[in-house]
Amino acid sequence: MNWLEVFKEKGAFLEGHFLLSSGLHSPNYLQCALILQYPDLSEEIAKEIANKIPKDLKIDLVVGPALGGIIIAYELARALKVRGIFAEREEGKMKLRRGFTVKPGEKVMVCEDVVTTGGSALEVASLIKEYGGDVVAFSCIVDRSGGKPIFDKPLYSLIQLNLETYQPEECPLCKEGIPLVKPGSRNLK
């Protein structure tokens, strides 16, 4: 399946001139939630990621950081027939709440929707290590890392995308006078 076309069709990948939450400008906007709202597509995405994971890599548990990682971690757990839980921030620190736990020695895959700098995934990985869990792999729907080595374990992704971003004062789209759009804002009226 040409996943980028599916993303475009569902409005999860937009082309134009966008103000990102980081404050940067970009010709593209990616919102995985808009593809994950379709359970059949979420399931299909998870199966495709799962198929890229070597069969001899033992995984007991998939952990995703809230909110972006919750659905895809759960679907990946379904595809792998293992447990799926999520970590969430409490007073700024990533934690396991709601009685979720990782047993010492459990083989864990960390799963995000989008990996750019990998910050949240790395926080989840160090949290799992505090529990004595063994982080064996990382996974995501969209890998935006540009091939930078972020993790000490393999990263399995559905697609890799290198998206351009610009500082507002250097943005060529601003210079062309293309109207800047804040994604999602039209839905807030």
When the beta carbons of 114 and 171 are compared against Zn ion, the nearer one is 171
Is 56 assigned to a binding site? no
CA 147 to chain CA centroid, Å, is: 15
Six-digit token pair at 78?
């379904």
Is 11 assigned to a binding site? no
Which residues are paired to 83 by β-bridges?
Answer: 61
Does residue 171 belong to the site contacting Zn ion (CB under 5 A)? yes
- Is residue 158 within 8 A of residue 141, CB to CB? The reply is yes
- Of the ranges 19-27, 107-115, 117-125, 140-148, which one interacts with Zn ion (CB under 5 A)? 19-27
**Nearest distance from C-beta of residue 178 to Zn ion, angstroms:** 7
- Residue in 3, 14, 25, 141 binding Zn ion, rule: CB under 5 A: 25
Touching Zn ion, residues 52-111 (CB under 5 A): none
Is 165 assigned to a binding site? no
CA 32, CA 150: separation in Å to the nearest integer?
A: 21
**Nearest distance from C-beta of residue 17 to Zn ion, angstroms:** 6
Is 97 assigned to a binding site? no
State the first-to-last Cα distance of the chain, in angstroms, to the nearest integer.
35
- Residue in 57, 66, 150, 173 binding Zn ion, rule: CB under 5 A: 173
Is 124 assigned to a binding site? no
CA 181, CA 26: separation in Å to the nearest integer?
A: 10
Cis before 14 (ω within 30): no
Amino acid identity of 44? E
Does residue 174 belong to the site contacting Zn ion (CB under 5 A)? yes
CA distances from 23 to 19, 20, 177 (A): 6, 5, 18
Residue ranges that bind Zn ion, judged by CB under 5 A: 25, 171, 173-174
User: Which residue ranges make up the annotated binding site for 5-phospho-alpha-D-ribose 1-diphosphate?
Assistant: 89, 112-120
